[in-house]
Amino acid sequence: MVVHDFLLQQRSARVKELAASLEFDACGISRAGFLEEEAPRLEKWLSQNYQGTMKWMENHFDKRLDPTLLVEGARSVISVLLNYYPQQEQPSTSYKIAKYAYGEDYHFVFKSKLKSLLQSLEEHFGAIHGRVFVDSAPVMDKAWAERSGLGWVGKNSNLISPKTGSFFLIGEIILDLDLAPDHAIQDYCGTCTRCLDACPTDAIAAPYVVDGSKCISYFTIELKESIPEAVKGTFDDWIFGCDICQDVCPWNRFSRPHSHPEFTPKPELLELSKTDWEALTEDAFRELFRKSPLKRAKFEGIRRTIAFIKDKGPEV
């Protein structure tokens, strides 16, 4: 048993070396299995309709909780992080987009890196079966990252690392290779309520529980119909996503600029004023945001949100 455990530890160490060589910012490992603690939380969250119009979150309930239903014979979940905290930020006089959207769409960047890692694992360990996941399949990425010791899920429902804060992306490889698992770390949110206090739409319904249907990110990206009048005046110029609950988090004083050129914003983005955003044509939008996450909201969606922000409503 001691020899077996030593071999698993050697394997895990090698996995982390390979992840580091591909410039992942952190790597942790957990044992694949049913997420017993998350099951009732997810069921309650869905029953309260916190998913809003994101009906896809109601699908594949069992697969979200059991990785062996996604990868037959799964033994381990490898979680990796990519830092996206920018060197430069938009000027305060511009309409705002979430920092993760400054550069290229992370789905493509991250998935490519994960596929390279899986290929390296196959070359090193031989015949293994695995799949890569980046926010596009029923995988509870924060739960797995937390289990693997990469951080704890904070009161704003983001994974927080005591070393680097929370401005990073999470991806996974689920595979049928036995590895020595890491261990979860302590929750260091303590009595802090800055994220709850700062959310302008009261989307953080309770500590650790976010009502997705009230989040500015939901209104500006996921919601395809009209934005409710009830939230008029609360967006603080956010037109794609929102970083408020992360910006106020004390742990993000440890955030450092990323080293991934794909996430570096075009200079033109940082130069856009509100007037420039309002005058943006569809052709210019397509060119500037050709590889950007903003394509998800589309030109019409960005224009809708800007119009919503500009319309202050009737004077009282």
Using CA atoms, how far apart are residues 38 and 41, in angstroms rounded to an integer? Answer: 5
Using CA atoms, how far apart are residues 126 and 145, in angstroms rounded to an integer? Answer: 25
Which of 66, 135, 187, 247 does the annotation list as catalytic? Answer: 135
Name residues whose C-beta falls within 8 Å of residue 40's C-beta, 6 or more positions apart in sequence: none
Name residues whose C-beta falls within 8 Å of residue 109's C-beta, 6 or more positions apart in sequence: 82, 103, 260, 262, 263
In the residue annotation, 135 being an active-site residue is answered as yes
Angle in degrees, 0-180, between the axes of helices 106-125 and 2-21, rounded to the nearest 10: 140
Half-sphere exposure of 153 (CA within 13 A, CB side): 16
**Residues with catalytic annotation?**
135
